[in-house]
């Protein structure tokens, strides 16, 4: 019977490890950088001025970014592994991300390549200026929602969002304001809920489950009610829920006001 290429590669890796000659992946240097009120993270690290350099950036909000220089282009990815939260490492020879804890691998665009991680990494736009200073946009919109005003008020004309017309209809996307990933759900003819889609366990993105009665995290199975309350662990904390008001066809979500 033919032996698959993947099996051969895995066996070679296991043999190398058993012989004590597995390639050692150096962890990225860890630095701290807060996000500003507009969600920008400014990083001044010499590693990012050279091809292949990387740093692990711990933000003040519990998130980690892995930032790397790939032939002059800066890539910024979710830096906490979606398997069990270890800090990820950039592997410059392969232009890939590896988890030092249990070996998950990801491509430079965040796509998961090898388990045990089962979900892709989030990615963030980043720029580098002539002095080598890097700015990462931590709350990039993805076009699902309009841009909120400076105070975090998000206004939707429901005529443009037919997905929210039926009960159990929902929108899931990234908004240019904290929390970034946002779920907006029609829970009854008269009520629409808006909750953070960032799982409070290890930051994976939650989504409605098949029956529409609860939210589910694909990483480790946490479940939440449509109001953001935790129903099943490992998450211990509720999702942030934001104030909404519905007037005719206009929905207003106040992202600065948590319920
Ligand atoms: S924590 Fe990354 S593979 Fe387990
Ligand atoms: S990230 Fe672990 S259950 Fe959501």
Domain boundaries in the chain? 25-137, 153-258
The model's pTM is 0.79
> CB of 243 closer than 6 A to ligand 1?
no
CA of 110 to the centre of ligand 1 (A): 14
How far does residue 87's CA lie from ligand 1's centre (Å)? 9
Compute the C-alpha angle 161/163/167, nearest 5°.
120
Residue whose CB lies within 8 A of the most ligand 2 atoms, among 222, 230, 239, for a mutation test:
222
CA of 98 to the centre of ligand 2 (A): 19
Alpha-carbon gap, residue 180 to 139, rounded angstroms: 5
**230-232, strands of its sheet edge to edge:** 207-208, 215-216, 223-224, 230-232
CB 106 within 8 A of CB 115: no
Compute the distance between CA of residue 259 and CA of residue 256 in angstroms, rounded to an integer: 10
The model's confidence at residue 13, banded by pLDDT at 50, 70 and 90, is very low
Q: Does domain 25-137 have CATH number 3.40.50.300?
A: no
Query: With pLDDT > 70 as the criterion, what percentage of the chain qualifies?
Result: 91
pLDDT score of 257 more than 80? yes
Over its C-alpha atoms, the chain yields an Rg (Å, rounded) of 20
**Whether residue 239 has pLDDT greater than 90:** yes
For residues 184, 188, 190 and 191, what is the CA-based torsion angle, rounded to 10 degrees? -30
Answer yes or no: is the C-beta of 117 below 6 A from any ligand 1 atom: yes
Task: Kindly report, residue by residue over 149-191, the tens digit of the pLDDT.
Answer: 989 999 999 999 999 999 999 999 999 999 999 999 999 999 9
Per-residue pLDDT tens over the stretch 20-45: 444 567 888 999 998 887 789 999 99
Q: Is the pLDDT confidence value at 52 over 60?
A: yes
With cut-offs at 50, 70 and 90, classify the pLDDT of residue 210.
confident
99 lines ligand 1 (CB under 6 A): yes
102 lines ligand 1 (CB under 6 A): yes
What pLDDT score does 24 carry? 62
pLDDT value, residue 62: 84
Domains 25-137 and 153-258 share a fold: yes
Question: Under DSSP, is residue 9 helix (H, G, I), strand (E, B) or coil?
Answer: helix
Query: What superfamily in CATH does domain 153-258 come from?
Result: Rieske [2Fe-2S] iron-sulphur domain (2.102.10.10)
pLDDT at 98 over 90: yes
């Amino acid at each position: 019977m033919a032996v698959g290429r993947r099996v051969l590669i895995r066996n070679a890796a296991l043999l190398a490890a058993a012989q004590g000659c597995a390639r050692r992946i150096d962890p990225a240097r860890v630095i701290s950088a807060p996000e500003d009120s507009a969600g920008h993270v400014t990083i001044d690290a010499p590693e990012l001025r050279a091809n292949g350099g990387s740093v692990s950036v711990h933000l003040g909000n519990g998130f980690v970014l892995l930032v790397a220089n790939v032939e002059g282009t800066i890539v910024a990815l979710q830096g906490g592994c979606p398997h069990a939260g270890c800090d990820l490492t950039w592997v410059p020879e392969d232009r890939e991300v590896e988890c030092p804890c249990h070996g998950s691998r990801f491509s430079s665009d965040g796509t998961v390549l090898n388990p045990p991680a089962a979900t892709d990494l989030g990615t963030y736009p980043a720029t580098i200026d002539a002095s080598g200073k890097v700015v990462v946009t931590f709350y990039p919109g993805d076009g699902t929602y309009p841009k909120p005003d400076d105070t975090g008020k998000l206004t939707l004309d429901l005529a443009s969002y037919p997905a929210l017309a039926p009960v159990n209809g929902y929108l899931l996307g990234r908004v240019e304001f904290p929390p970034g990933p946002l779920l907006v759900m029609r829970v009854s003819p008269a009520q629409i809920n808006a909750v953070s889609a960032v799982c409070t366990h290890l930051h994976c993105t939650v989504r409605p489950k098949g029956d529409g009665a609860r939210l589910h995290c694909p990483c480790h199975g946490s479940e939440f009610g449509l109001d953001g309350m935790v129903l099943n662990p490992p998450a211990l904390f509720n999702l942030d829920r934001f104030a909404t008001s519905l007037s005719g066809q206009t929905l207003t979500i106040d992202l600065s006001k948590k319920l």
